[in-house]
Structure 1
């Protein structure tokens, strides 16, 4: 009987009935299992302010840690997720985008790049290894060091627009902290060693972020990419249902440090809250190029670890 119906549909040029996909709860259950198995807390280190493709303004971070890469690798192997987008292969937070109908001119890009570099020169961005390497060569260059923030949980969001300024629902997935979990049944030395492995950033990760950032400095070549169509305000704020696994970039998540980051000849090198830098940067961009950019609500700022749909 079934074959007869299929033959009839074929003769009438009716496409075969699509089989329904596996229910959403199965995908969410699988994501939960992967995070339970591979999800460990990790830190993200603010690195550079930069102009990305299509003129999007971002705060780039210093690469994913080894533990974060293991989690991303496990998610990538799951058949229930869409293929990974290039934008989530390196850690960044999108701050703002061009308004609809706007396009960067070479002069706009030159001014934006200068604003970015002025802020990048005024603070030290990177992890502790970067800091020690830089200041061992030039200890007189004492700059405030941008605070890192500890990712203790990830959020599976069902968003109503790509900027995450409207979120329909979210589920929090706490991440295991190896040091806290292991001190009761392992030596402190081994716990500290594993903690360093969690925080270690692969040289390839650093090189990839450096390559992306370095491309933005050649303004003549980079204008082709910075002036491309797409990713304007409507793209981020139009109604669009989707799911992502994100780390919220919110002020309360940044590590608070009562002590200076380091000292040189008795003088302190202080931490700087990245949110102060973000606020100052966005204000200066608006003053430098008025009505060209729109900036996202601070409570919506996030790093996409992985798109789900």
Structure 2
């Protein structure tokens, strides 16, 4: 199962993909249908993305800073897209102590079924359209209001929060992580002291929250 890295979206600094492939969509649907008491699915797992970092506490982007950041995202999206693909053969059921998954109590591997004949590894068209629509938000005239709103700063991710989630950790090719590090360095050079970066070992794609 292959997922292409697509582009960067500025919210918490998220690395996005084209969309969930059919096998992962099937897994999400079966979880929702068969596991009683699951919380409603949150917007963050409706499309595949990896949060690379977040604003430091009490930081707020100015419109000029947002323009700088969007330019960096556009520049480095091509670098990330050409770096590597991620083959997803399993997921991880994680009991975590904080939202960034930098502190965990338990990690259990969950094998994924192979793609069925004719199913392919690419995401369905509606998934691609969903991701394209979300990415297009950064070009809206009022996007600064969304990017600068309160919430989702470092404390949100680092403070104690017990939960269970199904994810795929970004343990992919080294060239991909190298491209992520180049992007981080570029952001730090242009906007020093603005962003906190999550540990490489904690980078993940959320498939479905189980206990929030």
TM-score by length of 1: 0.65
After the TM superposition, list the runs of 4 or more consecutive aligned residues in structure 1 that deviate by more than 3 angstroms.
122-125
Shift of 1:200: 3.1
Instruction: Provide, for residues 113-156 of structure 1, a one-character-per-residue CA deviation record: whole Å limited to 9, x for no partner.
Output: 00101112x4473xxxxxxxxxxxxxxxxxxx332111111111
| 1:216 paired to 2:118 | no
> Which is richer in strand?
2
2:3 and 2:122 in contact (8 A); partners too:
no
Instruction: Provide, for residues 241-274 of structure 1, a one-character-per-residue CA deviation record: whole Å limited to 9, x for no partner.
Output: 1000010001xx34x9xxxxxxxxxxxxxxxx32
> Which is richer in helix?
1
| 1:66 paired to 2:22 | yes
Q: Distance in 1 between the 2:27 and 2:112 partners?
A: 11
Shift of 1:275: 1.4
| Greater Rg by CA | 1
Q: Secondary structure at the match of 2:41?
A: coil
Which stretches in structure 2 are left out of the alignment for 5+ residues? Answer: none
Q: Distance in 2 between the 1:49 and 1:160 partners?
A: 27
- 1:49 aligned residue: 8
- 1:103 aligned residue: 60
Shift of 1:82: 1.0
Shift of 1:94: 0.3
2:80 and 2:176 in contact (8 A); partners too:
no
- 1:11 aligned residue: none
- Superposition CA RMSD, Å: 1.6
Q: Secondary structure at the match of 1:157?
A: strand
Say if 1:124 and 1:291 are closer, same or farther in 2 by CA, change over 3 A. Answer: closer
- 2:208 aligned residue: 306
Q: Secondary structure at the match of 1:205?
A: helix
Name the count of aligned residue pairs.
210
Q: Secondary structure at the match of 2:52?
A: strand
